[in-house]
Copies of this chain bind each other. A is one copy, B any other.
């Protein structure tokens, strides 16, 4: 085999691999948004078959040989080709390190665990879920050991979602956050609460759907590339840079819950749509890590969407669609209402200030479970103790406690820190952006496309060309520092709550 032939084969492999991912993605999306209820078993069967073929394709012997050959000839490749090979090899090496029968057994376990978790959550029955959770953590520990026997298992997992991330970095990051956020939150809790009563009422679905379209318009999202659907839990999925889907969940009694879901998922979608054409149908297409992805979604949701300027921009739309609730509301009232902060039980409903504390609880527990210093049996009590410690709240039951998130049931151990990291990345990006743009003025003028253009240039167009730390460095021209985030939070919440 010569290098040209190998590259040709590698390109075909990536295209075929993409076709399977695309099909599996559409099957999943269709299942979540459109498919009739009884279709799950048949879809599971088809997805299982295709996922198995996809596994053999991307981690089979022939592929291992091909990638080994290309790795032995890296010197003859362009920089982009080198990155393609090493990036592809990472997933391959992880997957290939796991015996196939264990890999398949794990997929079956996750499939069952999802159902068991849902039921356990509904019935507030942690014991029913515990054996599955134990197996999931055990399997993750074992798999991490197969892949990188010399690395701490939890570091291996953190790397899956944010390449290069370590526990040492997370510890420092969360310590810095805790130091600033906890005293800030204490002041916020002691201050008078903003009025949020006008956010509640009756908001018919049809009007909320129209509102979603208007929000996407304000974000300048190209609708010919981005569709919106409805699901229990909002999410984004992209098949290529011309085909991205977001979903939201409408609550008839609440106008802003779906609003911030649409803006958050819209941020993910913009990132996916901004990936350069040159990387399409290769492994470098699309976002590089969950941390960078969350930085974009949370940038749009919080930094833009919960800014004073955006509140002024969106208020006339709210007044037009829901005059009963918003006719007499000022931009400042809206701004304060959507930034109301208070310790609460549920992560997905947490405000910008307390959100990271919810993540810290999960980080501490995941870390302890992976290190073996905590058992699954002890987990509910440990959860409740951490919630009390960081947020000062008493957890009334496991359904609103340790069972609330789907991540662990889905095998996503090590994912949570990306949410907090993403928020913090975004604050530092904002500071950098302000060197080039008058961000406030652009939002006020509705010229969010200029903000998007900056993000596209610095981040989106690069797809997975650079690892997250390198991409961040290229964008911000400085290493990541959580002080930008804590400064941002301090300034914002001091203002919202008139603190001294």
User: A residues bordering B, Cβ < 8 Å?
Assistant: 15-16, 18-20, 22-24, 26-27, 29-30, 33-39, 41-43, 45-46, 49-50, 53, 206, 222-227, 229, 239-240, 242-245, 280-281
Contacts of A27 in B (CB 8 A): 22-23, 26
Cα distance A41–B16 in the bound complex, in angstroms? 15
Choice from B42, B227, B240 contacting A239 with Cβ under 8 Å? B42
Of A36, A37, A222, A239, most buried by chain B (CB within 10 Å of CB) is: A36
Supplied contacts A16-B53, A30-B34, A42-B280, 9 more A-B pairs, CB within 8 Å: A22-B43, A26-B26, A34-B34, A36-B224, A36-B243, A37-B224, A38-B242, A42-B239, A45-B281
Distance (whole angstroms) from the CB of A48 to the closest CB of chain B: 8
Cα distance A437–B223 in the bound complex, in angstroms? 52
**B34, A240: Cβ atoms under 8 Å?**
no
28 cross-chain CB contacts under 8 A: A18-B46, A19-B45, A22-B27, A22-B42, A22-B43, A23-B24, A23-B46, A23-B50, A26-B26, A26-B27, A26-B30, A30-B30, A30-B34, A33-B34, A34-B227, A34-B245, A35-B227, A35-B243, A36-B242, A36-B243, A37-B224, A38-B224, A38-B225, A39-B242, A42-B242, A42-B280, A43-B239, A46-B239
**B36, A223: Cβ atoms under 8 Å?**
yes
Contacts of A280 in B (CB 8 A): 42
Contacts of A45 in B (CB 8 A): 15, 19, 281
**A240, B42: Cβ atoms under 8 Å?**
yes
Number of copies: 2
Contacts of A43 in B (CB 8 A): 22, 239, 243
Contacts of A24 in B (CB 8 A): 23
Contacts of A227 in B (CB 8 A): 34-36
**B225, A49: Cβ atoms under 8 Å?**
no
Contacts of A36 in B (CB 8 A): 223-227, 242-244
**B23, A242: Cβ atoms under 8 Å?**
no
Contacts of A229 in B (CB 8 A): 34
Contacts of A18 in B (CB 8 A): 46
**A22, B39: Cβ atoms under 8 Å?**
no
Contacts of A223 in B (CB 8 A): 36
Closest to A15 in B: B49
Cα distance A46–B25 in the bound complex, in angstroms? 12
Contacts of A53 in B (CB 8 A): 16
Contacts of A19 in B (CB 8 A): 45-46, 49-50
Contacts of A22 in B (CB 8 A): 27, 42-43, 46
